[in-house]
Amino acid sequence: MENGNKPIISIQDVSFKYEGQETFALENVSFSISKGEWVAIVGHNGSGKSTLAKILNGLQFPTSGIVTVGDIQLSKETIWDIRKTVGMVFQNPDNQFVGATVQDDVAFGLENHGVLNEEMKERVLHALERVHMANFLDQEPHHLSGGQKQRVAIAGIIALRPKVIILDEATSMLDPLGREEVLNTVRELNSEQGLTVISITHDLEEAAKADRIIVMNKGHVFKDGTPDDIFELEEELISLGLDTPFPIKMASSLRKNGFTLPKKSLTDAELLDELWTLHFGK
């Protein structure tokens, strides 16, 4: 996914302290994300990952440091431009449904930007088609499942045509099926339209499928690298209160029992291949 362009999001030495608190929620955090990348930000509760998400679209301002989105530097004057570039999906499916019906909810953001009626209708329909919810135009939120509501929330964001979408634990309140639906939708957007995805998550299986993982600990970036690099650090991750994906755990138990698995497999399919080869190698 590296295409040598200028990064779409870069933050430099960002620190942030909540009012009335002693310790920094974020301290000297720096990284940059390039266009089309899928980045997972992981960390235990209170590691500062949600604060980071809020800083990336101006819901919070850093106490110090610089946040740049595209060519725009985050400041009080530019937040509205930044919010046009960066969309965000939150955790609770119920609390982020602003409209009375599905189409009203998707249209809400467009109304805010003063899009004209005809174009709005088209964009609403198009966005709902993208998330496979076009048959639910007039449904009310209490008739939808959690996964469906989250997909409508995503449609509300993509109707605004952002370049970056932040998923702030967007799948954490969903059942496994709903989670899969939502992630597949975002994956499609990521691969077909080059949408940059920043996914803040507790779900390590989900993180393992990202292009890159940033591990946060106590307001610092603990490690930044590909899933392979990150899950290399098995023991360290566990000492940070994190976990490793199932294939990694499985492989390490196998190793303890004397099987030689040379490669680190991150997905079930990779592990299966590995075991398959091992079996034939005998």
Partner 1 sequence: MNKLILGRYFPGDSCLHRLDPRSKLLAGISFIFILFLGNNWMTYALLWIFTFFVIYISQVKLRVYVRGVRPLIWLILFTVFLQILFTAGGTIYFEWGLITISQFGLVNGGYIFCRFVMIIFISTVITLTTKPIDLTDGLNSLMRPLRFFKIPVDEISLMLSISLRFIPNLLDETQKVMDAQRARGTEFGKGSLFQQMKTLVPIFLPLFVSSLNRAEEMADVMEVRGYDSRAARSSFRKLKWQLSDTMAIIVMILLTIGLYLLRSNS
> Of the candidates 16, 24, 38, 97, which one interacts with partner 1 according to CB under 8 A?
97
**99-128 residues near partner 1, rule: CB under 8 A:** 99-101, 103-104, 107-117, 120-121, 124
> Of the candidates 49, 83, 130, 149, which one interacts with partner 1 according to CB under 8 A?
83
Question: How far is CA 71 from each of CA 32, 67, 78, 160, 263, rounded to the nearest angstrom?
Answer: 13, 10, 11, 19, 40
First to last CA, the chain: 37
Report the nearest approach of partner 1 to the CB of residue 175 (Å).
17
Report the nearest approach of partner 1 to the CB of residue 134 (Å).
16
Whole-number Å distance between alpha carbons of 81 and 72: 8
> Of the candidates 43, 65, 141, 247, which one interacts with partner 1 according to CB under 8 A?
141
- DSSP designation for 25: S
* CA angle, 192 then 9 then 237, to 5°: 90
- Regarding 246 and contact with partner 1 (CB under 8 A), the answer is no
Closest among 181, 264, 227 to 42, alpha carbons compared: 227
Report the nearest approach of partner 1 to the CB of residue 7 (Å).
21
**23-52 residues near partner 1, rule: CB under 8 A:** none
Question: Which residues of the shown chain bind partner 1 in the complex (CB under 8 A)?
Answer: 54, 57, 59, 80, 83-84, 87-88, 90, 92, 94-101, 103-104, 107-117, 120-121, 124, 140-142, 153, 156-157, 160
